[in-house]
Amino acid sequence: MSHPQINNILILGGGTAGWMAAAAMSKFFAGQPVSIQLVESPELGTVGVGEATVPVIRQFNRYLGLDEDSFIRRTQGSFKLGIEFCDWLQPGSRYFHGFGDFGAAVQGVPAHQLWLRSQALGNQASLLDYCFAAQAARHNCFAPPPDEPRLAAIAAFDYAYHFDAGLYAQLLREWACERGVEHLQGQIQGANLDPGNGDVASVGLADGRTLNADFFIDCTGFHAQLMHCALQVPYCNWSAHLPCNRALALACERREPLTPYTRATARSAGWQWRIPLQHRVGNGLVYASDYLSDERAERELRHNLEGDAIGDIKRLRFTTGHREHFWYRNTLALGLAAGFLEPLESTSIQLIQTGLLRFWELLPSGANPASVQDEYNRITRAEYERLRDFLILHYCTNQRPGSDFWRYCREQALPAALAHKIAVFRDSGRVPLYDNESYSEASWVAILTGQNIMPQHWALQADQMPASQLVQLLEQRRRDIAAIVSKMPSHEYYLEHLAAH
């Protein structure tokens, strides 16, 4: 495969985004006459103290050929079956978004529709009783999906990871450099544009060096030194829908069990994350500065740590939204340089990964026509919008009393696509899915029902099964899940066993 328009790639910025790009590009262009360089400043550190992911990260690691056990050991990682949401509906409420479904459909009828009908028949079981990931998480159990023939029918599940983002970047750096990526260090000073076509021609460093390339990947975080500073690509601001604009990150000692899930707890003007790693817990508070001062936010975060703080607190200011163009001229933006969606559903690394995959899928063998970039930007914009709507859903359906922040979130005007989703679900139990959705119907159902949006009706097809057969089916599924979970090791035991080999 020939790519005459790309002979030299320069990646600006390291961290998770930069080294994911470097590793993936070196794999994609293996055997091709394409040189890849990455330049980063040794003075810039990472933003967070722990990273949570979604299951697609496993596909990325498999693509590179990274061994899972070694990866977990190198990154001080743990496993993730989903996210527990505490106090989001109202104080004291809890629900779980698991990586999986609620059981196989029966004659085309989704499992949650069968559950809705069973409620009218007197079934007292929660929908989460039929979610394998939720039940394993509830008992702090973990093992990869067992070789159990019944599992696909009763409730399929998947998993992701928690890990130290700095250690993951280090692992990827070693992997990429072993395969020919040239690692440069230097402070990026600015970019030079081609006066003829407006492309980026080169990048200047503070020490006087000039770096030339055919194609550039901007991974310089919120600074977006190419997309914003050099190319002046505008930013689409979504603060009206997602008003949180600041975050604090702080690690602490672990006192609670090593849970196989992330926890997101609603706070006075935002929410707090808990990401359990082997050697510590990553914590952070995402909040809206219009409703909570920086000083009060720090006190709130420190007050709710489970153990003694480790290291210094890290502060982050952001504007939710994205660049109007993600691929512009000869520059591709990834990570924070492309946009920011708060980490409520752990989608930051997912967007890096899908951005890279989409680039490869659309990259033509000859010169890049404008239509290809337009298509890349159209699909990526749609992906961001669907993720935005999924995040808004957590906020707009709250019933938390006495808070201006939560009242604003509840009373905001919703994007039309999200309003339609909620209305259709209320009326029929169905979730309309659009192109470029990142989440399945089961994920939407988990948040909708967790936030107490309950359908008034169920699908008519669910009435075709005799009532006694329906009750028996669901009860058998619940028992099968409990039986398999009872045989699983604890999450902590599984990690200890992994570390010993």
Percent of residues, the chain, with pLDDT higher than 70:
97
Q: Give the total residue count for the chain.
A: 501
Residue 2: the pLDDT is: 37
pLDDT for 1: 34
Q: Which residue in this structure is represented by tokens 């990429």?
A: 176
275, pLDDT greater than 60: yes
Q: What is the pLDDT of residue 363?
A: 87
User: What confidence score (pLDDT) does residue 4 get?
Assistant: 45
In the listed set 268, 286, 314, which residue is the last one of a domain according to the structure? 314
Residues contacting residue 143 through CB under 8 Å, at least 6 positions apart: 488, 489, 494
Distance CA 127, CA 114 (A): 10
Q: What is the DSSP letter of 335?
A: G
In a domain, 141, yes or no: yes
428-443 pLDDT, tens per residue? Answer: 999 999 998 999 999 9
**How do residues 340-355 score in pLDDT, each as one tens digit?**
999 999 999 999 999 9
Q: Domain containing 335: what range? A: 8-77+163-237+323-381
* Same domain (yes/no): 414, 482: yes
| pLDDT of res. 47 | 52
Please give the pLDDT value at position 185: 96
Active-site residue numbers?
Answer: 80
42 pLDDT band, cuts 50/70/90, is confident
Among residues 341, 366, 381, the one where a domain terminates is 381
Counting residues of the chain whose pLDDT is more than 90, the rounded percentage is 91
pLDDT of 45 strictly over 60: no
In this prediction, residue 364 carries a pLDDT of 81
Instruction: Return the closest-CA partner of residue 478 out of 92, 138, 160, 81.
Output: 138
Measured distance CA(7)–CA(35) in Å, rounded: 6
User: In this predicted model, what pLDDT tens digit does every residue of 77-107 receive, in sequence order?
Assistant: 999 999 999 999 999 999 999 999 999 999 9
Q: Do 284 and 433 fall into the same domain? A: no
How much is the average pLDDT of 277-286? 95
Q: What is the pLDDT of residues 484-496, one digit of tens each?
A: 999 999 999 999 9
Could you give the CA distance from residue 437 to residue 157 in angstroms, rounded to a whole number?
19
55 and 113 share a domain? no
d(CA 268, CA 492): 32
Q: Are residues 478 and 414 in the same domain?
A: yes
Task: Say whether both 373 and 271 belong to one domain.
Answer: no
Render the burial of 357-382: b for 16+ CB within 10 Å, e for the rest. bbbeeebeeeebeeeebeebbebbbe
For residue 70, give the CATH number of its domain. 3.50.50.60
Q: Average pLDDT of 155-177? A: 95
Whether residue 307 is found in the same domain as residue 213: no
**What's at 172, amino acid-wise?**
L
Question: Of 255 and 42, which is predicted with more confidence?
Answer: 255
490, 140 contact by CB (below 8 A): yes
Q: Which residues are annotated as a binding site for 7-chloro-L-tryptophan?
A: 80
Rounded to an integer, the average pLDDT of 32-43 is 92
- The reported pLDDT for the residue numbered 46 is 53
Give yes or no: residues 225 and 263 share one domain. Answer: no
Angle between helices 404-411 and 370-396 (to 10 degrees): 120
What is the rounded distance in angstroms from the CA atom of residue 222 to the CA atom of residue 260?
Answer: 31
Residues 175 and 63 in one domain: yes
**How high is the pLDDT of residue 155?**
81
Residue 167 counted as domain residue: yes
Say if residue 264's pLDDT is above 90. yes
283 and 249 in contact (C-beta within 8 Å)? yes
List binding-site positions for FAD: 14-17, 336, 349
pLDDT confidence bin for 49, thresholds 50/70/90: low
Number of domains composing the chain: 3
In the annotated binding site for L-tryptophan, the residues are 345
Q: What is the largest CA-CA distance in the chain?
A: 78
Helix H, strand E, coil C: the string for 124-191 is CCCHHHHCHHHHHHHCCECCCCCCCCCHHHHCCECCEEEECHHHHHHHHHHHHHHCCCEEEECCEEEE
pLDDT value of residue 365 = 73
Q: Which of 278, 294, 314 is the last residue of a domain?
A: 314
Alpha carbon separation from 25 to 147, 331, 353, 416 (Å, rounded): 34, 14, 11, 37
Q: Kindly report the average pLDDT of the chain as a whole number.
A: 94
Q: Are 90 and 400 in contact (CB under 8 A)?
A: yes
Residue written as tokens 């609620």? 102
Q: What is the pTM of this model?
A: 0.96
The reply to whether 230 and 169 lie within a common domain is: yes
DSSP class per residue in 445-493: HHHHHHTT---SS--GGGGGS-HHHHHHHHHHHHHHHHHHHHTSPBHHH
Q: Check residue 145 and give its pLDDT.
A: 87
Residues 375 and 465 in one domain: no
List residues forming the annotated binding site. 14-17, 80, 336, 345, 349
Same domain, 406 and 459: yes
Residues 221, 335: one domain? Answer: yes
> CA 189 to CA 186: how far, in whole Å?
9
